[in-house]
Structure 1
């Protein structure tokens, strides 16, 4: 310990920053005189209600109050609260006022839903720390009513909103995001009772968007999503609802996209992301959902979930429209949908071989291969026409040894008719 104590102060502070909670950081004050006040300069504070085992009422709140008052670092790189039933919105308000002049760069407030019967309402004083924030994460809280009209986040680049309720409804979301002029990364995981009918993301600077819409929303009430983010580079949409979906701009800079929707939104989405390079696609209804006339001219990596009964139609459409495709993965994300009975395939072998099979496709990976008639036909079609294939990996579902052996024989036979270099069967 004496050797560590002789390290420069900035290194000691960095070491203390790696401790899991502020309670652990404060405990180091008893090590020696050198460490007695060192904790007051640590730029990262984590207050975790779960670490506070004492049942004395108010002990956690008192610890947070005192430690924040004694803390002297002019800049707080990270301030995190993991709270439960021992904390209230009044406590959060007091702590916010305490650090309002401390130049907080990252603020995290997470409420443990399992230990907290009522969500706290974030007090308006919390937004006193908004001026220097670069990262903000809120989980399982209620935003203060009408505060978004007066709050500005001029430096905020990353925003995470998980299970949030917005008392001001649609307007609260719109105003909140409009007050983030340089926002680049937005993560939204909606709560069914969030009080929002149309969730609008209209942020010109946004580069990364993850949006998980709340299941069980009532589409009869005009539920929907509006996205206006022309600068997006990474886009993830998980939508279990049957509401409307509007994309206001094309996304010329899009690189990665994951589209996982249960209804007919996908055509509107796919038509806006044709420049995408890496695409993961899962649809529950292919009919009327694939945009006609589009070409994925930069797509090199494509993953398709086979949960939809018409997955073969969708696969052939994407192969046809992706002339530079290099890697194809056929997966099975949703076992609940995969167990539904499937009709015979609706798609016959195309008269023209897709260009990507002739000139670019190098890798095929098939997860949960079952050896059905349509699966065999797809494998044979790709092996027969894939002139640039280098590796094919097939992973079967758990099955009897004799059935697996039969699969291997059939695949090996198809493999011999193909110029590919390597076949791997897991």
Structure 2
């Protein structure tokens, strides 16, 4: 302990920031030097399940420690709440207690079994200096007065419920410099159209496991990274092309992907899992900037979709095939060799990685086609799905005998 006490105060505070608040406060009994040090820790994490403390004692502990805390700037206040007795009144008191501390990051997360707590109005009025706000499993209250988060750059809304569509518009419009938005919807969140109209947004995660008649409207002209997963939504409307997009993960179980893929045709790195091929993106779209494509092979149409993407991605350098989900149909995809070899195979494709290769006839035909025409191929990596050593050996032997157009192409088996 003496050696620890000799460390610079700034380093001690940083170390203490890694501890739960209960342990931070407990350091006051170590020595006279430590008696007041905890009051300056810039990060406080309160977890009401920690050491199974009774909620009344936990609430009083939070009240008192926040009142005594003296750091002029509080970087993080993290509330992990699971007890059923917690309500909006407690949170209102705690938010007001740090109102003058220039709070930069507020995280409020409830246990999934206690997702009916309504967050207080003080959330909108007290935390104007927030840079990061993360809310999980709670209910946002409606407000009639205007509010603003002038410094908020990072917002996460996970399994939240809302008073209606309008609050979403009001909330996002109150964040003029928002750059990073995470939205993971749940059933019965009381929102039909989730409007994301943020001109400053650069990173967007949209996951929809909500009501089947719900959807998204997206207007994000500055977007650079997109992660969108929708297995239940009715619609996804894109109001502007995302010309600055660099990376996108697109996973749809419905026909919403067409307009979306058309709006991100300038993407450089793309993950794709959609259940169709002919209408996956608008006719005439060309992915001029696409250099890396990962395609999920769980859908029956994946093979046709792949050939479309190869045809329309003239600069593709890296291709990865992976079965991320269970195969969703008993029917197998059908291989039809294209009449013309895609330009990327002749001029740019350098690597092929195939994860969970099964050695089915259509897979062997595709592998043979790529190896036979891959003029620039440098490395092909195959991971077999089979656990039978004899079966794996036969698969690998077949692949190793396939002819290769590129004399420098190496085949590796994992």
1:201 aligns with 2:196: yes
1:137 aligns with 2:128: no
Match of 1:155 among 151, 154, 176: 151
SS at match of 2:248: strand
Moved more, 314-323 or 60-69: 314-323
Q: What is aligned with 1:128?
A: 125
1:414 aligns with 2:402: yes
Shift of 1:179: 0.5
Instruction: Show the 5 A alignment for 1:18-417.
Output: 18-19=18-19, 21-55=20-54, 58-85=56-83, 86-114=85-113, 116=114, 119-146=116-143, 149-167=145-163, 169-215=164-210, 217-219=211-213, 223-335=214-326, 338=327, 340-345=329-334, 348-415=336-403
Moved more, 72-81 or 46-55: 46-55
Cα distance change on mapping 1:97 and 1:242 into 2, 3 Å: closer
Shift of 1:8: 2.9
SS at match of 2:298: coil
Measured in 2, the distance between the counterparts of 1:238 and 1:404 equals 33
How many matched pairs?
413
Structure 1 unaligned regions, length at least 5: none
For 1:380-409, what per-residue CA distance to the aligned partner results, in whole angstroms no more than 9, with x for missing partners? 000000011111011111243322222112
SS at match of 1:165: coil
Measured in 2, the distance between the counterparts of 1:47 and 1:242 equals 36
SS at match of 1:10: helix
TM-score (norm 2): 0.96
Stretches (4+) displaced over 4 A:
415-418
Two-structure CA RMSD over aligned residues (Å): 1.5
For 1:35-75, what per-residue CA distance to the aligned partner results, in whole angstroms no more than 9, with x for missing partners? 001000111110011114233x5100000000000000111
| 8 A Cα contact 1:257 1:278, kept in partner | yes
| 8 A Cα contact 2:301 2:333, kept in partner | no
TM-score (norm 1): 0.94
Shift of 1:191: 1.1
For 1:339-387, what per-residue CA distance to the aligned partner results, in whole angstroms no more than 9, with x for missing partners? 5212451x52112211111111110011111111110110000000001
Measured in 2, the distance between the counterparts of 1:89 and 1:294 equals 50
